[in-house]
Structure 1
Amino acid sequence: MAEALLTLDALRYDAGERTLIRDVSLRIEAGRRTLILGPNGAGKSVLMRLMHGLIEPSAGRILWNGGSGRPAQAMVFQRPVMLRRSVLDNVIYALDLAGVPSAARRARALDVLERVGLTALADRPARVLTGGEQQRAALARAWALRPRVLFLDEPTASLDPGAAAEVERLIRVIADEGCSIVMVTHHLGQARRLADDIVFVDAGRITEHTPVTEFFASPRSAEAGNYLRGELSWT
């Protein structure tokens, strides 16, 4: 069995009197591209924020590397937050926060900007970039941290097809360098293209965790089957 990067054990998350995540147990293997699918309001983004540590569970445990400690990780959101500074300085600032020595920051930032095709825009204010350019800048900022796992919350939802295709290409490149990918998407075609494994979430529960080919060929849960047929559940 492959190495477990992340294990969720009986996870629950409450927001006031509402339970958004219910008794979720999940094992994510290192080096895989895991995509999270499910209807609106199912709890996909909440689950990802729990994994990343942005919010704390109400009950249950989150174990990294079998309990040996949280690896380097980064997260990219649907709408990237760009600081009021240049594209280059956005990346350098993230490296500064991560404790990267000052002598290494500029070279590392320029390297990732070249890899995402933004060298020519390095000195431009990040907030004037197009949506696709901003998302590539956000990927560069995350990639520069050299994460072992990268979380992505619908990173192409607001992009045109060309910009979305470029973001998908970069995700593949990052994954091919050994970074595990955990990503929320509503786009079934994107899930087919990018995923090794699918996690299906419905009403705060995981109803299916299976290899991508099996998920689309023969979903095991009624909820996933209904979703693929367009018979959405509403929560």
Structure 2
Amino acid sequence: MRPLLQLESADVAIDGRTLLHAVDLRVERGERLALIGANGSGKSTLLRTLHGLLPPAAGRLARDPGARQAMVFQRPFLLRTTVQRNLALGLWLAGVPWRQCAGRATAALARVGLDGIGQRNARHLSAGQQQRVALARAWSLQPDLLFLDEPTANLDPPAKREVEAVMAEFAAAGMTLVFASHNLGQVKRLATRVAYVERGRVLADLPVRDFFDHSKLASVSREADLFVQGEAG
């Protein structure tokens, strides 16, 4: 089977500054790929490139033309209107007939455990609820592939558990996930594969079990092993 996405020798530059260097990366259907690395390593740039928001300056990005995809950002942008209308407008902009949008928005909120809040102002929700609204908005588009940029950053522990539970449910239903995270425990719980990014390069790309095996990771990338040891220490 062809991969959902494949980056080949991709460079990405913004304002003359190269942020990704010769990146090769495949995303297979049904896997859960975690991107880890220090702040400024290029994880968010890589996510945006995979999603098509940043075109490669060199190399190429190939995608399955039949696959639908969506992205949830670290700080979701929500309009100053009701939760339901935030979802309905997203669906309408994606080409869904307006008469179908309200029902699909309601179903999406129920999917993430937010029944009954559709008429509340989205800006008045807690940070955890806003992130789950963003997840509901993404799920309502029925993507095959979902990108998430630090989806639980700055959330308290109960909210993190709620968001992780939604991500796990999406994956169990067959959705492919690619997410950036600083939380190694979260990576162990959710990922099937891990890629380590440093200075715009992917230095290690291994199944999750091998990635957290010191001897196997150290043989692939000393930098990745030092990062994991430092974060876990």
Shared fold (TM-score, shorter chain, > 0.5):
yes
Which residue pairs with 1:57 in the alignment?
56
Which residue pairs with 1:121 in the alignment?
117
TM-score by length of 1: 0.93
Partner Cα distance (1:5, 1:131) in 2: 31
Partner Cα distance (1:120, 1:155) in 2: 23
- Alpha-carbon deviations, 1:28-60, whole Å to 9, x = none? 111100000111111110011011111111111
Amino acid at match of 1:72: R
What is the CA-CA distance between 1:100 and the residue it aligns to?
Answer: 1.0
User: Is residue 108 from structure 1 mapped to residue 68 from structure 2 by the alignment?
Assistant: no
Partner Cα distance (2:147, 2:99) in 1: 28
Tell me the secondary structure at the aligned position of residue 50 of structure 1. helix
Tell me the secondary structure at the aligned position of residue 212 of structure 2. helix
User: Is residue 191 from structure 1 mapped to residue 190 from structure 2 by the alignment?
Assistant: no
Q: How many residues align?
A: 228
What is the CA-CA distance between 1:103 and the residue it aligns to?
Answer: 2.7
Unaligned runs of 5+ in 1: none
Unaligned runs of 5+ in 2: none
What is the CA-CA distance between 1:70 and the residue it aligns to?
Answer: 5.9
Tell me the secondary structure at the aligned position of residue 96 of structure 2. coil
The 5 A counterparts of 1:56-135 are: 56-65=55-64, 69=65, 71-135=67-131
Which residue pairs with 1:203 in the alignment?
199
**Partner residue of 2:168 out of 157, 172, 186:** 172
Amino acid at match of 2:27: I
What is the CA-CA distance between 1:112 and the residue it aligns to?
Answer: 1.1
What is the CA-CA distance between 1:210 and the residue it aligns to?
Answer: 0.7
Which residue pairs with 2:133 in the alignment?
137
Q: CA RMSD in A?
A: 1.4
- Between the two proteins, what is the percent identity of the paired residues? 46
